[in-house]
Structure 1
Amino acid sequence: MHELSIATDLINTALETAKQNNAREVISITVEIGELALINPEQLQFMYQVLTEENLLKGSELIIINVPAVAECQCGYKGPVPDKTTCACPNCGLTMRAVEGRDICLKTMEIEV
C-alpha cells in the first residue's frame, strides 16, 4: 500500500507550501496522478482524510485528476497504451516508452491567508 507514503509526501509538501505562504487555512489541493503510477484514488483519499485530521489541512478537499497513459514507439506510434502490462505497441508489437501518465504531481493549492 504505497498510497500511505504518497499521501504523506503530498501532505508534507502541502504543509510546507502553506507555511511558506502564511496560510491560515487550506481549502483544497489538486493532484494529478498518472494512470501508470498505479495509485488507488479511493485509498489515497482515505489516507489523506486520516492524515490531515490534526493539521492545517483538516477539512480540505483532495482533488484528484487522472492523467491517461501515453506512450511512443520507434515505429512512430504515439498514443494511448492499450496493454498496460507490457506496453506493447498496437502497430508493431515492440515495447513502447511511456511519455505521459507516470507521474504524481501536486498541481495547485487553494489557501486562505
Structure 2
Amino acid sequence: MHEYSLAIDLMESVLTAAKDNDAKIVNQISVKVGRIAHVNPVQLEFSLKSVSEGTIAENASYSFEYVDPEIKCLCGYFGKPNISETEDDSDMLEYLVSLVCPLCGKNVEVIGGTELVVDSIDID
C-alpha cells in the first residue's frame, strides 16, 4: 500500500506548514488528487489519520479534490482530453496511453492529472 508512504510525506508538509505558522491545531486538510495519480483517496485518508496520531493534526478532517488530466501537443493544442465522467480511473490510464491530439492526430504529452498535493490547511 504505497498510500502510507505518500501520507507520511504529505503529513510532514502539513506539520511543517503548521509549525511555521505557529499553529496549535490543524482542523482541516485539503488535498488535490490527480485522477491518474494511482492513489486511492480512501486508503490515503486512512493512512493520513494513522500517521497523524499524537500530532496537532490528529483530529483533522480531510477533503479531496480530483484533478482531471490535461494534455498538450507539439502542434500547440492544450486542454483536457475527451473523457466521460462515468469512466472509472483504471480505464482512464489505458485510454490516455493511446490518446492522440484532436487537432493533428499525433501522440500527446500528459501534463496534468498526476498530482498529489496539499492544497490548503485550516489551522488555529
For this structure pair, what is the TM-score category when the shorter chain's length is used for normalisation?
0.7 to 0.9
TM-score of the superposed pair, with normalisation by structure 2 = 0.79
- Cα distance in structure 2, aligned partners of 1:87 and 1:102: 17
Cα distance per residue 1:65-102 (max 9 Å; x no partner): 11011212345363226452214226466432112212
Residues 1:9 and 1:77: Cα distance change in structure 2 (over 3 Å): closer
* Unmatched segments (≥5 aa) in structure 1: none
Q: Is this contact kept in 2: 1:37–1:101, CA < 8 A? A: yes
Instruction: Return the offset for 1:37.
Output: 1.1
Task: Report 1:16-27 matches (<5 A).
Answer: 16-27=16-27
TM-score of the superposed pair, with normalisation by structure 1 = 0.86
Q: Which residue of 2 aligns with 1:79?
A: 80
Residues 1:9 and 1:88: Cα distance change in structure 2 (over 3 Å): same
Q: Which residue of 2 aligns with 1:97?
A: 109
* Partner SS for 1:37: coil
Residues 1:97 and 1:10: Cα distance change in structure 2 (over 3 Å): same
Structure with greater proportional strand content: 1
Deviates more, 1:66-75 or 1:32-41: 66-75
Question: What is the alpha-carbon root mean square deviation over aligned residues?
Answer: 1.9
* Partner SS for 2:64: strand
- Cα distance in structure 2, aligned partners of 1:74 and 1:5: 35
